[in-house]
Structures are given as structure tokens and as C-alpha cells.
Chains A and B, each alone.
Chain A
Amino acid sequence: MDLLEHEGKGLFAVAGLPVLPSFVAATPEEARRAAERLGPHVCVKAQAKTGGRGKAGGIRVCGSAGEVEAAAADILATTIRGHRVESVLVERAVDIARELYIGITVSREVRSPLLIFAREGGVDIEELAKRDPDAILRRPIDPLLGLLEYQVRDVVDAAQFGPDQPGGTGVGAALAEVCRALWKLYRDRDATLVEVNPLVLTTAGELVCLDSKVTVDDNALFRHKDMVPEPPEDAREAKARAAGLAFVPLSGDIGVIGNGAGLVMSTIDQIENAGGKAADFCDIGGGARSEVAQAALEAMFAGPPVAAVLVNIFGGITRCEDVAKGLVEAITAAHVDAPVVVRLDGNAAEEGHAVLAGAALPNVTVSDDPDEAVRLVVSIAKEREAAAR
């Protein structure tokens, strides 16, 4: 679960990380009132769950309440990389002396959290890693020991603060506090990413988290009852999720249902290889019963019309007969007229085929070969596309 900048900063403030005074505004009028309270020099920032806000014009520095109102009106009317901007953060502006980068994320390689620090911030950290690998400090954090003091000192040393900069020698101690607070936040909130880019040193000698990027582990939400994920924007995804299914909307016109993430991904790949395009990724999981298969078809038909549907089931624990029953019920009840290609193999496949044959649904074609089923569904979809033209 990705948090918006202002949600992340809310957690930062509670954790004792330095953030600037700010207000969230959903209308230009609210933005103006925020600016009146914060003073004229403020920054108006689009709140959207995507990067590249600056380049897309989603961040504007303003000098008056009137300017803020106009900027907020512009930004609220935009979409950034397909994400609607629902609110803006109006934040007091600061004069920047230096920009730094600090973050903690999961490293698959060392199977533990990894603290990343760069003395150059405000840039794309992956680009910096390519351009100047030595500018980046990486310290794996032992999950049982936590962040160690020598690692904090390594970060402060890497910042290369001189005696002449704003804030003097106190800045090192402030940076050490940021490291400790960030680790505590990462751990206590079950984050998989906390990133401050940039962490700035102001001309007044203060360290401030100018941005926040926080991702919370969805699997840990049972420990954080205060965090409720937003319902998905896609109607199919919302419906599927409510039924406990894994669903990802895609842009093609061939509906795909299968059991097991790997099998569904593989099915989508085969469809593309054969010249088709999948409308979705829908995994009904292991041991799926008939209600689940039914819910999957219903979710799929809650979206834009599909040209054809491929149901690809390899029964391990799942009994193909149960899936077949669910499909027959869903197709009959919802009066589905789109062609459905069903491939059943493995556990109780013969019984499954018998259920489908017994129902004799005119739009259902059965195949027991996965490659053949893919070829069939792609050719049917193409015929329907051609007929519609």
C-alpha cells in the first residue's frame, strides 16, 4: 500500500522526523486559506501516487495567496501519469543549501532491510547509482539487531558536512537523529519502503524532509488497524478483490481466468505470443470451488466487454469438476454470450468435461490442450474484432 506524500509526512511527524508546516487542500479555495495561514512563500504540490510530479508541472512555488489559489486550480485539474490529482499539499517554502537522499527498503539479496544514503539528493537514485556508484552508501540492517550506531556514524561521515555550512556542527547530530527515527518508523509501521528525497539542509541550518515516499506491507495490515487501503478504481478489480481473488486489469480484450499466479501469467504470455491481448490477470487460487470460479467470471463481466474468455485450469488440489460447475452457473445466470474457451486438465478433469458437455452451452468450447486453447481463443477474438469493424 503506497501512501500519499502528506500521509507519509503525517507518519514522519509522529516519528519525530522534521517536516515543514503544511495543510492538505482539496479545492483552490482551501489552498488559498492554507497559504494565508502559512505565510506567502509556499509550495503547492500535487498529491498523487506516482513519481515525476515535478516534471509534470505538479509542484509550484508561489509568492502570494492569489498565486496559490491559481496554482492549486491548475494542479487539481491535471492527471499525472494517469493518476488523478485529488488534493494538493500546501507547504511552507524554504531556501535550500544542500539536498541529500536517505531511504530504507527491502533487499531481496541480503533478505533484510537496506539503508541507502547519498550526499546528493533530489535526483533519481537509480540514475545516480549508475553515474556515480561511490556517491551511494548502503548498509544492510540486521532485522533482529536493528540499526547500529556505527552505521549511523557511517551515514553522518558520508554526508561530508564541513564546519562552514549553515547549522555548523549540529547538523551531524540532526542527521543521526533522522537515521534513527527513519529506522524506527520503517520497523514499527511495517514499511517496505521509506524514502526522503530530498532531505534538505536549509540556508537557516535546519534539516527537513522535503518529500516522503512510504510503502506499507499489505500483508502486515492486520497489525495496523488504522490503515485502510483505498478500494481499487477499476470496477472489476474491486469486485474480484471483494471475493478474495487476485485481479489485475489489463488493456486487451481476451478475458483470462486461471488457477495459480504463475499459470495465469504464463497463459497471458502465450496469448500475446499468439497475437492476442489479455483483458486481465485473474487468479482463482489453489483449491478453488465453484463459487470462486463464478465470482471470477462475474468480476470480469463488470468491466468493458471482452471479445472472448479463456479459462485455463490445471487441477492439482483444485477439482476441475467444481470449477466447471461454477462456470456453468455463472454463464447461465449472467446470460454470458461471449465465447468462452475452457481448458481443464488434472484433478477430476473428466468429470469437469462431463459437466460442461451436460450443460451444452452454445458459447462454450472445451479443450484439454493448453497451447490449443490459447490458439483457439485468440482466433475467436480476432474473428469477433473483424466482425465488429
Chain B
Amino acid sequence: MSILVDNASRIVVQGITGREGAFHTQRMLASGTNVVAGVTPGHGGETVHGVPVYDSVHEAMAHIRADLAVIFVPAPRARDALFEAADAGAKLIVCITEGIPVRDMGEVMAHLPRRGCRLIGPNCPGLITPARCSAGIMPSEIFTPGAAGVVSRSGTLTYEVVHELTHAGIGQSTAVGMGGDAVHGIGFIECLELFEADRETEGVALIGEIGGDDEERAAVYIQEHMTKPVVAYVAGHSAPPGRRMGHAGAIVEGTSGTAASKKAALEAAGIPVAGSPSELARLLGEAIKRRRST
């Protein structure tokens, strides 16, 4: 078991002939993932690392069944690629693209539910179920299968925590990088719900950062619905207000969205908040051990 992706997942890569698309297709294949088709308009008939390329997602789907689209299309054309994937029947879309306008994402998020389609990202590293499926750009080498669920707004912090977990002998069920944009797809709560229902997952590490109120709402959800242990880390305690720290979501607006308010909300809900990424890995290891011994 795992959440969202496993070895049955079949992936179509949009933007497969681009530099990033081709590079990460090769990496996904090397990790044992079923990349079954690629799409780049005007490149139908080519192959990329042995994967057949089609002119459109509809055409790809007509030839090869895929249920998951991974998007590497540049920002100005990403909105259209997202609509195309949803309309062609992808049930899950992972959008790696960074820098998509907020207006475009608003329109996409209004449309996807009409197609029963879920989105991870944009501006995210994707997700991985170790040894079974890597949908995106996470470095599969540092992951190992196991009991820890990871959901995060930050890519490199995820890697840092996973690296520590793996070293401590704690494998991962699935790690989801939900991305750093203000308007995004799947969030903490959807992932927590899935991890709670997943038999393999025994505890969850939640990695948050400044901006928005995803962490605060997750705190309430955890208190009311989670029986499995959740531990958290929030980055950006020393971020100055009003400045974007690298990506669109990471900004302290007025007094809301600060790391301190997020930490307080999580702690008030009884969730241990680590002082560093390495401590987060340690806390999760301890929480899983405690759960096993009771």
C-alpha cells in the first residue's frame, strides 16, 4: 500500500522532448516507473528514451492507457497543458512547472473538479512511492520503502528529512511535494486523510513553511481526524514580512502566515514541532516506535 501512486501507475509525460522533460523521464524510467507515453505538439512519432511521443494527450490516451500526467511544459503554456490532461481523462496530474500565473491556476482549479481530476503542484517536485513509482523530479536514490508518510511544501527540505529517515532505518510509504504556490492542488489535509487510511503508513512528517494557512487548517484536521502520529516542521521563522522567499507562496502578509503562528497552531493541537529538519526525522522515528510498542 501507499498513497496516490504505486507500481500500477502509468504515466504520460507532457513536455517530454524538452530538456527537463527528457532528463527526468530517463530518471523516472531508471527508478522502475511505468512511463508509457510522452506528448509534445509537433513531435508525434518520435521516441524519448524509448518512450513513444504523441502530438496530443488525447492521441496518447487513444493508443496507450495512462492514468497520471506529469507536466514539464513551460509556464506560458502550462494552463493549456493542464486543461488538456484533465479533458483527456487523466485522474491525477503532477505539475512540475514553476512560475504559472495565479489567474491561470485559478481557472485550472475551477475546471479540474468537473473532470474528477486531482492535481499535485504546480511548482512542486512531484511524489514518490519508493521502489514503485516516481512521478516527478524527486531523487529516488535517497528513498527506501517503509512506514513513514511525508507531505511537504518544500522540495529540498523533503530530501533532507527523507535522507535522515533513510539513514535512521526508517523507510517511506509515499512522499508528496505539494509545491510552493499560493493556488495549488492537493494540500496537507487531503494527504493526511490518505495516509490515515493507508495500511502501510504508520506516521506522518508534515513540512510547512511561511505563507497562507494550510498548516493551521491541517492542525485542526489532525486533532479531529488522525489516529496515526503526525510530527511537523515549519521553515521561515526569521523571514521578513512582505518579502517573497523564493516562491510565490512563501510570504508573510501582515501578521498572518508567520512561522510562529503556524508552530503555535500545530502545538496547540498536540502536534510535536521540530526545531530542525534532522530533529523532525528523529521525532517521527520515535513516534512510530512508540506506536508499534503500544
Contact = CB atoms under 8 A, between A and B. Distances in A.
Interface stretch (A72-80, A270-278, A357-365): A270-278
B80 to A, nearest CB: 13
Residue among B156, B159, B209, B213 having the largest count of chain A Cβ atoms under 10 Å: B156
Interface in A213-260: 217, 219-220, 222-223, 246, 248, 250, 258-260
A69 interface: no
Contacts of A271: 238
A219 B154 contact: no
A154 to B, nearest CB: 20
B88 interface: no
Interface in B153-200: 153-157, 159-160, 163, 180, 182-183
Contacts, number: 157
Residue among B103, B137, B154, B233 having the largest count of chain A Cβ atoms under 10 Å: B103
Contact of A111 (B106, B156, B275): B106
A106 interface: yes
Contacts of A113: 106
A321 interface: no
B247 interface: yes
A370 to B, nearest CB: 7
B239 A108 contact: no
B100 A266 contact: no
Interface in B140-159: 141-142, 152-157, 159
A112 interface: yes
Contacts of A354: none
Interface residues of A, number: 49
A86 interface: no
Q: Identify whether the interface residues of A are mostly helix, strand, loop, or mixed.
A: mixed
Interface string A165-200: 000000000000000000000010010100000000
Interface in B97-115: 99-107, 109-111
Given A190-B103, A222-B76, A269 B159 contact: no
B278 interface: yes
A219 B236 contact: no
B139 A347 contact: yes
A367 B137 CA distance: 26
A144 interface: yes
Interface string B276-290: 111000000000000
B159 A264 contact: no
A219 B99 contact: yes
A144 B111 contact: yes
B209 A262 contact: yes
Contact of B245 (A112, A261, A345, A370): A261
A272 B237 contact: yes
Interface of A: 106, 108-109, 111-113, 126, 142-144, 187, 190, 192, 217, 219-220, 222-223, 246, 248, 250, 258-266, 268-273, 278, 281, 283, 286, 314-317, 345-347, 370-371
Interface of B: 75-76, 99-107, 109-111, 125, 137-139, 141-142, 152-157, 159-160, 163, 180, 182-183, 207, 209-210, 212-214, 233, 235-240, 243-248, 250, 254, 259, 275-278
17 contacts: A112-B110, A143-B110, A144-B107, A192-B102, A261-B245, A262-B207, A263-B154, A269-B237, A286-B155, A314-B156, A316-B125, A316-B142, A317-B139, A346-B139, A346-B159, A346-B163, A371-B278
